[in-house]
Amino acid sequence: MTFTKRLFLASAVSLAGLSAMGIAHAQSALDGVMKNKLIKIAVPTDFPPYGFVGVDLKPQGLDVDMANFIGGKLGVKVELVPVTSANRIPYLQTKKADLVISTLGKNAERQAVIDFTAAYSPFFQAVYAPKSMAVTSFADLAGKTVAVTRGAIEDQE
């Protein structure tokens, strides 16, 4: 399957998951998008290369490209809604955004309040430290300070 086909399938699935309130509500949300010819898509501004603020002070990155791709396939205008890891789910829940494209890891707590699609991009996590620290397992981090992105799955679990 080509990258474009995967992007389109991920887009279609994203639109099907516009709402956490069920199929009827999702269809209603999609109907609203099509009627208004506008989709509000939340994208990160704090997580390069997926989303960041460019020198022109506009959102840029892979998630921004995906948002524009979805809008193009739907034939609607895209309104980018800048979000951070901490506010992306509340923006979806309060309808400040129709959908979120934002390196959002799936867990049971999040799945209880929003719908998820299939991943469109691989994402890997790692712990970085000086070589002298010799970290080979999570147990080696006991008693150490570990920095994570606020609101990200690493912060939640």
Residue 121's pLDDT is 75
Which DSSP helix (H) or strand (E) runs through 100? strand 99-100
DSSP 82: E
Residue 145's pLDDT is 87
Q: Angle at the Cα of 47 (from 42 to 53), degrees rounded to 5? A: 70
Please give the domain boundaries of the chain with CATH numbers for all domains.
Answer: 3-124 (3.40.190.10)
pLDDT tier, 18 (very low <50, low <70, confident <90, very high otherwise):
very low
What string of H, E and C letters represents the secondary structure of 126-139?
CCCCCHHHCCCCHH
Dump pLDDT digits (tens) for 4-14. Answer: 555 544 555 45
Calculate mean pLDDT across residues 149-155.
71
Could you tell me the two tokens for 5?
Answer: 């086909």
Is the pLDDT at 71 greater than 70? The verdict is: yes
